[in-house]
Structure 1
Amino acid sequence: MVHRLFQVLLFIVVGTFAYALMYSNVKPEKIHIELFKPAEQTIRATKTVEDTYKTEQEKEEVLKQVADVYTLKKEYAKNKVDLIASIFDSAIEVHEETSEEALKEDEKAIAKTDAQKVSILKEKLTDEVNKDIEESVFLALIQADEDELNITKDLTITAVNNVMSSRIAAGDVENAKKRAEEELRYTSISNDMKKAAISLARSAIIQNVFFDSEKTEEQRTKAVENVEPVRILQGQVIVKEEQLVDREIYRQLELAGFLNTEKTIYPYLGLLLFIVLTLIAFYYFFYSSTSKKEQQHNQLLIFSLVFVIALSMMKIFSILAGFQHSDLVYFFPGAMAAMISKMLLNDRLSVAMTLLLSSYGTIIFNGETPSNLDYSMGLYIMFSGFAAIIILSRDNFKAKVLSAGSLLSVVNVAFLFSLLFIMDGHYSKMEYVYYSIAAIVSGLSSAVLTMGLLPFFEAGFGVLSTIKLLELSNPNHPLLRKILTESPGTYHHSVMVANLAESACEAIGANGLLARVGCYYHDIGKTKRPQFFIENQITGSNPHDQLPPRTSRDIIIAHASDGGELLRKHKFPKEIIDIAEQHHGTTLLKFFYYKALKQDETVQESEYRYPGPKAQTKEVAVIGIADSVEAAVRSMQQPTPEKIEELVIQIINDRIQDHQFDECDITMKELSIVKSSLCESLNGIFHSRIEYPEFNKLEQKVEA
């Protein structure tokens, strides 16, 4: 409960610090603007907004350019041709029906007969048609013979069809009639028929193109839909410093919200909600960790401190960028926090750190312009952090942080250039050089700061980093020199166990480097009485042969506690001390127990067991197995792969049955992997060798 309360309080403190740090980045700017006066500063749009006024103007301009749509009524030409043909056909019918009696002596009678024919012709036609035809036309049609009527009919229909097939607007009707008239004027028919044909053709020529409101509206709708809304884009300069603020600029500033004097709490609420959500998500992420409570406590403190340091550096860089140059932010060591988290914590937490900082970076590096988020900087921090985690995951870079920083610089340059190319900013050569320098400095400074801060974290939190482990593995370390000079057999045994344990730990995903370094020091307690351990007995005499079992027991068991005391005295990390004290767990000293049992049957087995504790981690469990296996295989006369495998299985099964792994999280599957790894390594060490002849005999063979 206390641990959980501490976590919550720590998250509240970190959240409060983050809110205070980013408060100015969301605080709305107060800008003093007056119409028809020069602007006091360059103002950029903080968000993308649509300029509805400009958009409407664009639409109006487009509508003006859309021409009215007129439709050609092709059926009008056919109707008029059919009408002209009907008139001529009716006149021909009148001729056929009318009697051919001629009243030669009375002129009046002849006129009356023509009138009768005209009357008959009109009856064949409708009143609407009759009113559009002159009387002289009827008379000419009646007086003409049938052949002439047929010829005139064809000529008139052709003229009307030719003219009506073209587009005739309302203003072009008279010109169209003149074209028909001109076409008929030079024909070979009689004058009366020519006049009649021209009159009929002129009456038939009408407007055949009409305004189509539906299609026109459809064209206008399409044109308006194709108009892209006019927008004031985020980051766009609305007015430059000392530029006169005219009505158009003033309108744009008002539209972008710079003239809104009303106070708003939304940015502050948004920031609070953002911080609360990210920290709740991370709290759940941290709470779901499988680490032990004590380890969680330490990890949370380190994570929070690294986060606060990185966040503070972000703020400093953003402030400096505001004074100097906006692109100074790319000098920020974005991978520093990820590298420290990777070295001190684990991959899981270093990835979480990178994601958290990249999201906060989009706000902090917004140039203190509310509602503006710098996504490019967020991507830069995230990619740089991930690249650092991947680089440091490689064994050859675990201790070479500066080398990792150099490689990271190359990656930073490549990624930054990818961002610049995507943004297509048309940068100059000098600007590209500037960005390259920024990316290189960012990578190298991340490595330098990591190296500089690691010792403080290691000392303050007792964290065992990769660099510290490699430092302890140096053969020139005083305690390793002590083992080598005072108990060389133990030193050789420790090196052999280290090789076995490292391979096995890496096979199951445990810390192989910790296992190796722990093995170097796991038997350092033997330096107190080296001659009592068989690997250091050069003469072959064993002092235990002269000692009672209890005394031998005390000497052997003491090497674990003696090693722990010696390591504490030299301020070694807790993980190394634990390996020295736990690698035997509570196993039984079988040899001396059975020896004592022969002397006294009342001896208790518990008296001849190591005091423990049992293995608490996978690394200690693997080291304990490797320690026993190496000693046992070394004592075999002629080790074979089958014998080695049988021995390894026996030792692991003994430890399982003795409940030596009950307090650590190693699984049966992992123990199987450990078995395979140990057998493979041992087969490589104890492989069969060729028996070479003695040197003199070999020399004689060569001479022969």
Structure 2
Amino acid sequence: MERIRFFLEHVKHVRIIRYILFTFLALLMVTVLYYHVKPQQYSIRPFDISKETIRSPITIEDKDTTEKLKKEAAEKVTDVYTLKKEYAENRVDLISSLFTTILDIQEETGSLKNDSEIIKKLKERLPQEWFTYLSEDEWIRLLTAKSEEIRVAKEASVTAVHSIMNEPITQEELQKAKMRVQNELKYVMLPSSLKDIVTKLTKEAIIPNVIYDRAATEEKRRQAMDEVKPVKILQGQIIVEEGQFITNEIYHQLKLVGLLENDHSIQPFIGLLLLVILLIAPIIYGFTRWIDDGQQTNTYLLIYVTIFTITVIIMELIRLLPESDTFSTGYLVPVAFGTMLTRILLSERLAIMTSVIYSICGSVIFNEGMNGTFHASIAVYLLTSALAGSLFLQKELRKAKIWQAGFFVSFINIVVMLAMILMKNGHYSMMEMSMFLLMALASGFFSAIFTIGLLPFFEASFGILSSMKLIELSNPNHPLLRKILTEAPGTYHHSIMVANLAEAACEAIGANGLLARVACYYHDIGKTKRPRYFIENQIGGNPHDQLSPQLSKNIIIAHVTDGVSILKKYRMPKEIIDIAEQHHGTTLLKYFYHKATQQMDYVLEEEFRYPGPKPQTKEAAVISIADSVEAAVRSLANPSQEKIEKLVRSIIADRLQDNQFNECDITLRELELVAKSLCETLNGVFHSRIEYPDIRKEKVK
């Protein structure tokens, strides 16, 4: 213990120690949580037989399979063709123009007998491609036909083209459409030779009237691809069962979810690192804003790291206990002891913040066999348990209160456990329900045991003066307090009065009122060595009247050093010893100094001053004022509010003028609040009373 204190005494001012401790805390969380975050990997090759059932640890999209299905869906889409109705009109006009041209040529060449001239004139009127459809003799036969036959042929051909071309005709269906021409012209009243020629021309007028629509086809394929739902491997989904053959597809899925040993993904580590940064940040903020004490910050941080480490180690040890498929051993974790120790030794707000961190860490540690990185039920359970432990310790911190807090935590655990069981609507047996409730009860019980058991270790190792320790020291049955009460009752009463004044004044300026009260109980313990030489213990005469001022001064000053010796002998906390040593500072014993100046020509003022040191803390400064004020007010004959206020302010002004507060960080504004608080407390003590008249009792005859 002494070595720990010696080490802390030498490193409490070293700022780099703070960074080392924060780094250690981060590394601790990364080391412990990474094992639970990193997915289990298997040594599997294609075409092996699986030795166990493997589930997916995450939900992830199988993009390769999804793309394959989309491609297949696109390939199944048939090409989109668009019917061009204007094609029918154009071909009708074309065939109609052909026969009209023939009629016109017949009228123009009625006197011509030379067939070659007629053909020449026809070629001038018609496109050259038409002459590949019929021979020259067939063109001559058509040109020499009767006008009435040409008109009949025209009407029949136009009707046939219009009828056939109004229906979709693809390139593949073209020949089939042309065969329909023969059926359309089957009953036309024309000579067979002329009908064959008209049929040929009409067939050539038939062309495909639907074309490939690229944009529509692409849109249809896109819609088909969009309708394909992404192929996902769901969290907890069985990828391969025990004894199943490892196909290429299964191997691909195992690789995709990162379950193969040759998959060295750093994503889990990066994710965990980001989580740890988020958890460390509020701790740094808490120590910066709530526990920013340049003298003790490193000590407090080391205490916090020690508590955190013990809590996490206990979580890991409990995780090693055998689990069942029904419940998790995480419900047994006494997480509340970590927040209770943090609340007692450090800060309530820090304990509440740490409750959240414990719940997150616990939900990761106890996530075995669960889908997802976090175990939500464990997180809620640990959070409520930790918060219950810290919030219940808001008032007096005695061991009995810690036991009460433990039972309160057990009660909250049971309520939360029942709530989660009922919300799951699960059908549990009485044995399973009993196990749940027993773990919830044990968690709170062990939290109290660990808190009570570890608290003395922290107080002794780190020299921490906790609120619970202060309350124990304030017990009137403490040997030193009984010593004051029996040997110097006046001093005991004086100490109680000073304690009331100092506690109220310290709380008014935000200082530690409980520390001030307890320190006041012991600040004059040195007077028990020579109690009759102090005015509050004198009855029937003042022994200083027979002593020289120098000897009286030595006796009075000695009560400080005697008190420090006694307190050290009883191993009292350093804070109380310091206040006992500093409560008079280097003030002057004015009464004996003036008495000495009257008896001697030359007297050194320094010889009649306390050795100090001056008050180093706000609590010591307030106690030094309250000590003087209580003694001075008690000497007033008829204390009134005006007299009390004047006396209080004069004492504070005298201490300021004497530079007694130069070594502590108390401000003038805080001194003003101290003065008001002291006046209010003293006015309550020395209030005016009713004078009761004497009542003479007469004997009843």
Identity %: 38
CA contact (8 A) 1:169 1:209 kept: yes
CA contact (8 A) 1:90 1:121 kept: no
Distance 1:489 1:245, change over 3 A: farther
Matches within 5 A, 1:86-105: 86-88=94-96, 91=99, 99=107
Residue 143 in 1 paired to residue 152 in 2?
no
CA contact (8 A) 2:362 2:379 kept: no
Query: For each residue in 1:376-409, what CA deviation from the matched residue of structure 2 results, as whole angstroms up to 9, or x when unmatched?
Result: 6996799469736852673356762234345555
CA contact (8 A) 1:392 1:398 kept: no
Q: Counterpart in 2 of 1:629? A: 629
Residue aligned with 1:587, SS: coil
- Find the aligned partners of 1:17 and 1:154 in 2 and give their Cα distance: 92
CA contact (8 A) 1:596 1:603 kept: yes
CA contact (8 A) 1:49 1:255 kept: no
Q: Counterpart in 2 of 1:590? A: 590
Q: Counterpart in 1 of 2:471? A: 470
Residue 84 in 1 paired to residue 92 in 2?
yes
Distance 1:124 1:456, change over 3 A: same
CA contact (8 A) 1:397 1:403 kept: no
RMSD: 6.1
Q: Work out which of the residue numbers 214, 230, 242 in structure 2 matches 1:228.
A: 230
Q: Which moved more, 1:607-616 or 1:522-531?
A: 522-531
Deviation of 1:304 after TM superposition, in Å, equals 5.8
> 1:395 is aligned with what amino acid?
K
> 1:445 is aligned with what amino acid?
F
Q: TM-score, normalised by structure 1?
A: 0.71
- Find the aligned partners of 1:598 and 1:690 in 2 and give their Cα distance: 40
CA contact (8 A) 1:405 1:444 kept: yes
Residue aligned with 2:520, SS: helix
Deviation of 1:469 after TM superposition, in Å, equals 1.3
CA contact (8 A) 2:519 2:580 kept: yes
Matches within 5 A, 1:674-689: 674-682=674-682, 685=685
Residue 654 in 1 paired to residue 663 in 2?
no
Q: Counterpart in 2 of 1:219? A: 221
Q: Counterpart in 2 of 1:567? A: 567
Deviation of 1:81 after TM superposition, in Å, equals 1.0
Q: Counterpart in 1 of 2:328? A: 327
Matches within 5 A, 1:160-175: 163-164=166-167, 169-170=170-171
- Find the aligned partners of 2:221 and 2:659 in 1 and give their Cα distance: 87
Q: Which moved more, 1:632-641 or 1:617-626?
A: 632-641
- Find the aligned partners of 2:177 and 2:694 in 1 and give their Cα distance: 128
Query: For each residue in 1:316-362, what CA deviation from the matched residue of structure 2 results, as whole angstroms up to 9, or x when unmatched?
Result: 22322579988213322234334324423456986898798778768
Matches within 5 A, 1:489-638: 489-536=490-537, 543-545=543-545, 547-636=547-636
> 2:212 is aligned with what amino acid?
F
Q: Counterpart in 2 of 1:60? A: 68
Matches within 5 A, 1:216-295: 216=218, 219=221, 223=225, 228=230, 230-231=232-233, 233=235, 238=239, 243-247=243-247, 260=261, 291=293, 295=296
> 1:566 is aligned with what amino acid?
I
Query: For each residue in 1:402-429, what CA deviation from the matched residue of structure 2 results, as whole angstroms up to 9, or x when unmatched?
Result: 34345555766788899999xx998665
- Find the aligned partners of 1:398 and 1:141 in 2 and give their Cα distance: 131
- Find the aligned partners of 1:181 and 1:639 in 2 and give their Cα distance: 138
Q: Counterpart in 2 of 1:340? A: 341
Distance 1:11 1:523, change over 3 A: same
CA contact (8 A) 1:278 1:356 kept: no
Matches within 5 A, 1:9-408: 25=35, 43=54, 55-66=63-74, 67-68=76-77, 70-73=79-82, 76-88=84-96, 91=99, 99=107, 123-128=124-129, 143=148, 159=163, 163-164=166-167, 169-170=170-171, 200=202, 203-204=205-206, 206-210=208-212, 212=214, 215-216=217-218, 219=221, 223=225, 228=230, 230-231=232-233, 233=235, 238=239, 243-247=243-247, 260=261, 291=293, 295=296, 299=300, 302-303=303-304, 305-321=306-322, 327-346=328-347, 383=383, 387=387, 391=391, 394-395=394-395, 400-408=401-409
Residue aligned with 2:320, SS: helix
- Find the aligned partners of 1:566 and 1:350 in 2 and give their Cα distance: 36
- Find the aligned partners of 1:130 and 1:676 in 2 and give their Cα distance: 126
- Find the aligned partners of 2:144 and 2:428 in 1 and give their Cα distance: 95
Tell me, which stretches of 5 or more residues in structure 2 are unaligned? Answer: 1-6, 697-701
Deviation of 1:466 after TM superposition, in Å, equals 1.8
Residue aligned with 2:77, SS: coil
Distance 1:226 1:663, change over 3 A: farther
- Find the aligned partners of 1:5 and 1:350 in 2 and give their Cα distance: 23
Residue aligned with 1:457, SS: helix
- Find the aligned partners of 1:469 and 1:666 in 2 and give their Cα distance: 23
Distance 1:584 1:83, change over 3 A: same
- Find the aligned partners of 2:462 and 2:239 in 1 and give their Cα distance: 52
- Find the aligned partners of 2:91 and 2:26 in 1 and give their Cα distance: 94
CA contact (8 A) 2:397 2:468 kept: no
Residue aligned with 2:505, SS: helix
Deviation of 1:604 after TM superposition, in Å, equals 1.7
Q: Aligned residues, how many?
A: 670
CA contact (8 A) 2:524 2:560 kept: yes
- Find the aligned partners of 2:643 and 2:149 in 1 and give their Cα distance: 136
CA contact (8 A) 1:582 1:612 kept: yes
> 1:404 is aligned with what amino acid?
A
Deviation of 1:465 after TM superposition, in Å, equals 2.0
Deviation of 1:452 after TM superposition, in Å, equals 1.8
CA contact (8 A) 2:59 2:234 kept: yes
- Find the aligned partners of 1:643 and 1:223 in 2 and give their Cα distance: 95
CA contact (8 A) 1:504 1:677 kept: yes
Deviation of 1:608 after TM superposition, in Å, equals 1.9
Q: TM-score, normalised by structure 2?
A: 0.71
Q: Counterpart in 1 of 2:699? A: none
Query: For each residue in 1:73-115, what CA deviation from the matched residue of structure 2 results, as whole angstroms up to 9, or x when unmatched?
Result: 35x32133134235435755776797599x8xxxxx89x7999
Deviation of 1:612 after TM superposition, in Å, equals 2.0
Residue aligned with 2:221, SS: helix
CA contact (8 A) 1:185 1:198 kept: no
- Find the aligned partners of 1:692 and 1:536 in 2 and give their Cα distance: 28
- Find the aligned partners of 1:72 and 1:265 in 2 and give their Cα distance: 50
Deviation of 1:638 after TM superposition, in Å, equals 6.3
Distance 1:250 1:548, change over 3 A: same
CA contact (8 A) 1:132 1:203 kept: no
Distance 1:157 1:396, change over 3 A: farther
- Find the aligned partners of 1:153 and 1:625 in 2 and give their Cα distance: 128
Query: For each residue in 1:562-597, what CA deviation from the matched residue of structure 2 results, as whole angstroms up to 9, or x when unmatched?
Result: 333333343322222222222122222223322322
Residue aligned with 1:73, SS: strand
> 1:56 is aligned with what amino acid?
D
- Find the aligned partners of 2:505 and 2:642 in 1 and give their Cα distance: 19
- Find the aligned partners of 1:652 and 1:588 in 2 and give their Cα distance: 14
Q: Counterpart in 2 of 1:700? A: none
